[in-house]
Chain A
Amino acid sequence: MNKTTSALIAGLTLMAGGTAMAADVEVKITNLTQGIYFTPLLVAAHSSDAHLYQIGSKASESLQAMAEGGDISGLADVLSGINASAAANPAEGLLAPTASTMAMVESSETNSTLSIVAMMLPTNDGFVGLDAWPIPTEAGTYHIYLNAYDAGTEANNELVVDGSGAPGSLGIPASPGMAPGTQGSGVTNEETNMMVHIHRGNLGDDEATGGKSDLHNTVHRWLNPVAKVTVTVK
């Protein structure tokens, strides 16, 4: 009796499991900001126990490399090590303000959650992120809004310094779209919250030369959300 029942349940599970089988997942990402660029994006369907980042936790070295310099290779290696379905750099470079890009990944019974990361420029260690969002098993179109995070690994001094993208090298590596100010004195030299947290935003200033920040306060600020994601489960 027990055997029959469990066989029956197994049969039902198999049928119901149809919705949890592999599905193509189309991920459209729109940069909603007016003046912030996204460096190469990393989009992945992966196991639900994995995280590229977690709010309130320390950033991994790979996350730090992504958030400070836009280098997604370390995180991509981690994903391939856990057999995730990943799409690296779908925009083939920077995703400009208000621009969109499309990435394809495949969900499965194991790769059931979706994560997205990209550094935001110009920031010291700011990134846009989605952390292990459960991919619906029902086919359809879903919308998600993403916030800006701070990796907590570098002081937000807001000074643009060539070649400062490597972890441990203080500064913002580039300011695409608009030439930065120069000779800022630096907003701060301290990173008080060393966990991943919601980014407090750029301060900027209104001085092209000098002031505290090399960023422009009417151009380089933002309000959350900073990205819209449209997920289509086929």
Chain B
Amino acid sequence: MKALKLCAPVFAGLLLAGCGSDNNDVMLETPMPTPPAAEEIMLKVTAVNLTNGQPLSPIGIALHKEGQFWQIGEAASAELETLAEGGDNSGLLGLDVVMMSSSADTPLAPGASQELMLTTESLEDYKLSLITMMVNTNDGFTGLNAMDVSNLAEGDSISMRTHAYDAGTEENTEAQGTIPGPADGGEGFNSAREDMDKVAMHPGVVGNEDGLSSSVLDSTHKFDNPLMMVTITRMK
């Protein structure tokens, strides 16, 4: 029965390479082959900040074949901690696995949108990641984590909404002096790590109007999922 299923037309392309193998899982994970590119491929990434009052640090986008900028339940890399606590994406975009990258020059204000471009000769095996910090948080970030773009044809676009994550590297005290965004103007990156030290989804900010009297944040800084809308379009 498994063989019958795999012989469905949708997998016909894979059968050439994989029929006869009884390891169906591996076969299914194999990306569809991408025809070799004759000329330059251009991707346009449009990001919209959906929050009420969380400016997003300059957005970084990257094309890579391996790796992930973050994994739920794993400790943040030093590069991710730097982004999530201080908004500096240069460490992540400078990772060895990153083949092509681009960064915005300015933060993305609530309600605003931005476009970034990437050019490459091939999309084969490529994944796209996008990363940015909610700057009025202790260590909150959002983005896309290794989205497969290898099958994107010319003119195609995909839209996604992003979730809020917590790097787990700094306690969410919301205290004066700990938040780098305009709500506080406090400290960004600090190499000390909180006990949790695992990436999780963000629980949201509390604020001084919702029961955390020592918070520098107020109701205007609260957010809920999703945080951004991101559209990736293959222009050519």
Chain A interface (Cβ within 8 Å of chain B)?
A: 15, 18-19, 21, 30, 32-35, 97-100, 138-141, 203-206, 217-226, 228, 232, 234
Among B2, B29, B166, B214, which residue has its beta carbon within 8 angstroms of that of A234? Answer: B2
* Residue of B with least CB distance to A141: B28
Number of A-B contacts (CB under 8 A): 88
The reply to whether B213 and A206 form a contact with Cβ atoms under 8 Å apart is: yes
Chain A to chain B: the 4 pairs with minimum beta-carbon distance, closest first: A98-B73, A34-B200, A32-B201, A221-B203
Interchain CA distance A53-B223 in the complex, whole Å: 29
With A19-B5, A33-B203 known as contacts, the answer to whether A223 contacts B224 (CB < 8 A) is yes
The reply to whether B225 and A221 form a contact with Cβ atoms under 8 Å apart is: no
Residue of B5, B163, B202, B225 with most partner-chain A CB within 10 A: B5
Interface band, chain B = 35 or more
With A18-B5, A232-B25 known as contacts, the answer to whether A224 contacts B225 (CB < 8 A) is yes
Q: CB-CB < 8 A to A138: which residues of B? A: 5, 8
Among A18, A97, A140, which residue has its beta carbon within 8 angstroms of that of B200? Answer: A97
The reply to whether A205 and B211 form a contact with Cβ atoms under 8 Å apart is: yes
The reply to whether B1 and A223 form a contact with Cβ atoms under 8 Å apart is: no
Chain B interface (Cβ within 8 Å of chain A)?
A: 1-2, 4-6, 8, 24-25, 28-29, 72-73, 163-164, 166, 168, 171-174, 196, 198-204, 206, 210-214, 224-225
Among A35, A204, A218, which residue has its beta carbon within 8 angstroms of that of B173? Answer: A218
Among B1, B25, B73, B198, which residue has its beta carbon within 8 angstroms of that of A18? Answer: B1
Interchain CA distance A98-B196 in the complex, whole Å: 10
Q: CB-CB < 8 A to B5: which residues of A? A: 18-19, 138-139
Interchain CA distance A232-B24 in the complex, whole Å: 11
Q: CB-CB < 8 A to A223: which residues of B? A: 164, 201-204, 224-225
* Residue of A with least CB distance to B225: A223
Residue of A21, A141, A218, A232 with most partner-chain B CB within 10 A: A218
Interchain CA distance A225-B173 in the complex, whole Å: 23
With A98-B72, A100-B73, A218-B206 known as contacts, the answer to whether A33 contacts B201 (CB < 8 A) is yes
Q: CB-CB < 8 A to A206: which residues of B? A: 206, 211-214
Is chain B's interface secondary structure helix, strand, loop, or mixed overall? loop
Q: CB-CB < 8 A to B28: which residues of A? A: 139-141
Q: CB-CB < 8 A to B172: which residues of A? A: 218
The reply to whether A35 and B72 form a contact with Cβ atoms under 8 Å apart is: no
Interchain CA distance A228-B71 in the complex, whole Å: 13
With A34-B196, A234-B24 known as contacts, the answer to whether A225 contacts B201 (CB < 8 A) is yes
* Residue of A with least CB distance to B201: A32
Q: CB-CB < 8 A to B198: which residues of A? A: 97-98
What's the least CB distance linking B9 to chain A, in Å? Answer: 12
Q: CB-CB < 8 A to B201: which residues of A? A: 32-34, 222-223, 225-226
Q: CB-CB < 8 A to A205: which residues of B? A: 211
Interchain CA distance A21-B3 in the complex, whole Å: 13
What's the least CB distance linking A5 to chain B, in Å? Answer: 24
Q: CB-CB < 8 A to A99: which residues of B? A: 73
Q: CB-CB < 8 A to B166: which residues of A? A: 34
Interchain CA distance A217-B166 in the complex, whole Å: 15
Interchain CA distance A218-B164 in the complex, whole Å: 15
Beyond the given A218-B174, A228-B72, please list 5 additional residue pairs across the A-B interface where CB-CB is below 8 A: A15-B4, A34-B200, A204-B211, A217-B210, A225-B225
